[in-house]
Chains A and B, each alone.
Chain A
Amino acid sequence: MIFGYLDAGSGSLILQAILGGAAGILVAFKAWKARLMGKRAITEVQPDPDEQPVTTES
């Protein structure tokens, strides 16, 4: 992956797929869905903060 020095804007990046025409709309949908699934997966594995072990280390 190329890391640009420019902040491309997340919404603008997904929008580009839509602007790419019919084929791009499917790509945008897949990317949006993958992002949603990714967010859900993160939410599901996130442990309950109350159950985290207490530590005195900093």
Chain B
Amino acid sequence: MPRPDPGSFRDPASHIVLDDSRVLRLLDDRGLAGWKALSASSLFDRATADGRLIASTLIDEPHGDAAGVLEHPRIPFISYPYEWTFSMLRDAALLQLELLEEALGEGLTIKDATPYNIQFVDGRPRFIDIGSFETYAPGEPWIGYRQFTRQFLFPLMLRSWAGLPFQPWLRGNMDGPTAGEMKHLLSLGKRMKPAAMLHVSLQARMEESMSGAAVRSELKTAGFNADLILTNVRKLERLVTDLEWDGTGQGWVGYEACEHVGRDRESKGEFLSSALATQRPGRVLDLGANDGYFSEIAARTGATVIAVDGDEEVLDALYRKGTTVSLALGDLTNPSPAQGWAGEERPALTTRADPDLVIAFGLIHHLIYTASIPPASVVRWLASFHCPVVVEFVSPEDEMVARLTANKTEAELHPGRTRREFEELIGLDFSTLAVRELGGGVRALYSLAPLSG
């Protein structure tokens, strides 16, 4: 029995239902008309062939009162803009504009402009909401313009012009900052830029003064046309392309050059490869993935790999390098929760990841010593994935731990940090399949299988 996708309900013309492994889009009459117009265009063939648009097949299968049903391939891992890096959001914004420009050239339009309509597949953005396309009605403005500014342009400006991460804002308010809010977030110098004067200050002023006014018929009568949208879209493309972010230079970039990392990399890679060969996971979750070295090893087995890291700069570098691994920016001590309408619209990161194997290399000592998570809680958390885990244990004698605890007293640290105590803890939830010692015994790798299931 198909069940509605809790994240697809806003457009009455088109919504997704999930049927086991199948993804179906149910269209009403208006949605079906939009599909017919899109599928007859050269844009559809071109953008589907080059991967910018999700593949779609009209199927002859009745579903309630749907006027038409499309089938799409399943996206391996759904991520949300508050889990994307700067370059990912910028590429998604450019895809949105590019498709709109091409659509207008063929008498079509895209009726909204939200990054939730875009997903990353094999390292590139792909537009997934086929129901967003419809025939352009002459004289109509671009309905998605304000949404584009709030969910793409302003977040990119925040990072590029104000040095502020946009992800907390998008996670806290899924509609994104308003033009009025952006005015307060940009410095006077940035507000004087022509693009900010138009898209931020003027929009804020006009939104305030014209709130609730019906203006679409006036615009049409006044001679509004698609060329005006195209001019705006092309200028936005140049603006978005020019927005840049060079990183903070304060994170984990270059971590792989650290002595202990370089020394142990090969051993860890071999240990992981052995676990991958034994477990043969279909989905791998790499926690604290850093530069993606181990994610790439897992990806070479053909598994879907989700690399999670809290450092935007390293993940952005991995994205720009062209990795095909799925990326999710996130603080593991505060991962994306289930949120949105009814608390179901955007499922939690861990629900979406749904791994068959978890990698936790170079991670748990940061949780224990930096984030002050009790060791027992860390192990229970690893067990909560209900799948095999490959984990690196770092003992209190390790030089990195000494640095992490340089300003902490023994009383300020949780008990249970020794290797013997760690082994007791993992014994409660896991059986140990393999162990390898590193760095003269201060670090050790464990391949674990859950006791139940």
24 contacts between A and B (CB under 8 A): A1-B140, A4-B143, A5-B10, A8-B145, A8-B146, A11-B211, A12-B145, A14-B215, A15-B202, A15-B206, A16-B142, A16-B224, A16-B228, A17-B224, A18-B198, A19-B198, A19-B235, A20-B229, A27-B219, A30-B222, A31-B215, A34-B218, A34-B222, A35-B215
Q: Is B147 a contact partner of A10 (Cβ separation < 8 A)?
A: no
Which secondary structure dominates where chain A touches chain B?
A: helix
Q: Is A17 a contact partner of B211 (Cβ separation < 8 A)?
A: no
A4 to B11, CA, bound (A): 9
Is residue B188 within 8 Å, beta carbon to beta carbon, of the partner chain? no
A19 to B212, CA, bound (A): 21
Is residue B111 within 8 Å, beta carbon to beta carbon, of the partner chain? yes
Q: Is B218 a contact partner of A38 (Cβ separation < 8 A)?
A: yes
Q: Which residues of B contact A1 (CB under 8 A)?
A: 137, 140, 216-217, 220
Residue of B nearest to A37 (CB): B218
| The residue from B11, B137, B145, B205 contacting A16, defined by CB atoms under 8 A apart | B145
| The residue from B12, B134, B205, B224 contacting A11, defined by CB atoms under 8 A apart | B205
A34 to B216, CA, bound (A): 11
Q: If the complex has contacts A11-B207, A11-B210, A15-B206, are A21 and B145 also in contact, measured as CB distance less than 8 A? A: no
Is residue A6 within 8 Å, beta carbon to beta carbon, of the partner chain? yes
| The residue from B13, B207, B221 contacting A12, defined by CB atoms under 8 A apart | B207
Q: If the complex has contacts A24-B231, A27-B219, are A17 and B111 also in contact, measured as CB distance less than 8 A? A: no
Q: Is B112 a contact partner of A6 (Cβ separation < 8 A)?
A: yes
Query: B43-67 vs A: 1/0 string, CB under 8 Å?
Result: 0000000000000000000000000
Q: Which of A1, A20, A35 has the most CB of B within 10 A?
A: A20
Is residue A2 within 8 Å, beta carbon to beta carbon, of the partner chain? yes
Within 8 A of B (CB), among A1-52: 1-2, 4-6, 8-21, 23-24, 26-32, 34-35, 38
A30 to B221, CA, bound (A): 9
Query: B104-133 vs A: 1/0 string, CB under 8 Å?
Result: 000000011000000000000000000000
Residue of A nearest to B149 (CB): A12
Is residue B232 within 8 Å, beta carbon to beta carbon, of the partner chain? yes
Q: Is A6 a contact partner of B111 (Cβ separation < 8 A)?
A: yes
Is residue B141 within 8 Å, beta carbon to beta carbon, of the partner chain? yes
Q: Which residues of A contact B20 (CB under 8 A)?
A: none
Q: Which residues of A contact B210 (CB under 8 A)?
A: 10-11, 14, 35
Q: Is B203 a contact partner of A2 (Cβ separation < 8 A)?
A: no
A11 to B206, CA, bound (A): 4
Within 8 A of A (CB), among B342-384: none
Query: How many B residues, CB 8 Å from partner?
Result: 48
Q: If the complex has contacts A9-B207, A14-B206, are A19 and B222 also in contact, measured as CB distance less than 8 A? A: no
Q: Is B222 a contact partner of A31 (Cβ separation < 8 A)?
A: yes
A5 to B11, CA, bound (A): 6
Q: Which residues of B contact A30 (CB under 8 A)?
A: 218, 221-223
| The residue from A2, A4, A21, A29 contacting B228, defined by CB atoms under 8 A apart | A21
Q: Is A10 a contact partner of B232 (Cβ separation < 8 A)?
A: no
| The residue from B147, B217, B228 contacting A17, defined by CB atoms under 8 A apart | B228
| The residue from A2, A19, A24, A35 contacting B213, defined by CB atoms under 8 A apart | A35
A8 to B212, CA, bound (A): 10
The smallest C-beta distance from A6 to any residue of chain B, in angstroms, reads 5
Q: Is A17 a contact partner of B143 (Cβ separation < 8 A)?
A: no
A2 to B111, CA, bound (A): 10
Residue of B nearest to A12 (CB): B146
Q: Which residues of A contact B227 (CB under 8 A)?
A: 20, 23
Is residue B439 within 8 Å, beta carbon to beta carbon, of the partner chain? no
Is residue B214 within 8 Å, beta carbon to beta carbon, of the partner chain? yes
The smallest C-beta distance from B140 to any residue of chain A, in angstroms, reads 6
A2 to B207, CA, bound (A): 21
Q: Which residues of B contact A11 (CB under 8 A)?
A: 203, 205-211
A10 to B214, CA, bound (A): 7
Q: If the complex has contacts A10-B212, A15-B198, A31-B215, are A24 and B228 also in contact, measured as CB distance less than 8 A? A: yes
Q: Which 8 A-B pairs have the closest CB atoms?
A: A20-B228, A11-B206, A30-B222, A12-B146, A11-B207, A31-B222, A19-B232, A11-B210
Q: If the complex has contacts A15-B198, A31-B219, are A2 and B231 also in contact, measured as CB distance less than 8 A? A: no
Within 8 A of A (CB), among B211-266: 211-224, 227-229, 231-232, 235
A2 to B206, CA, bound (A): 23
Q: Which residues of A contact B415 (CB under 8 A)?
A: none
The smallest C-beta distance from B173 to any residue of chain A, in angstroms, reads 15
Q: Is A10 a contact partner of B213 (Cβ separation < 8 A)?
A: yes
Q: If the complex has contacts A19-B231, A27-B228, A34-B221, are A13 and B112 also in contact, measured as CB distance less than 8 A? A: no
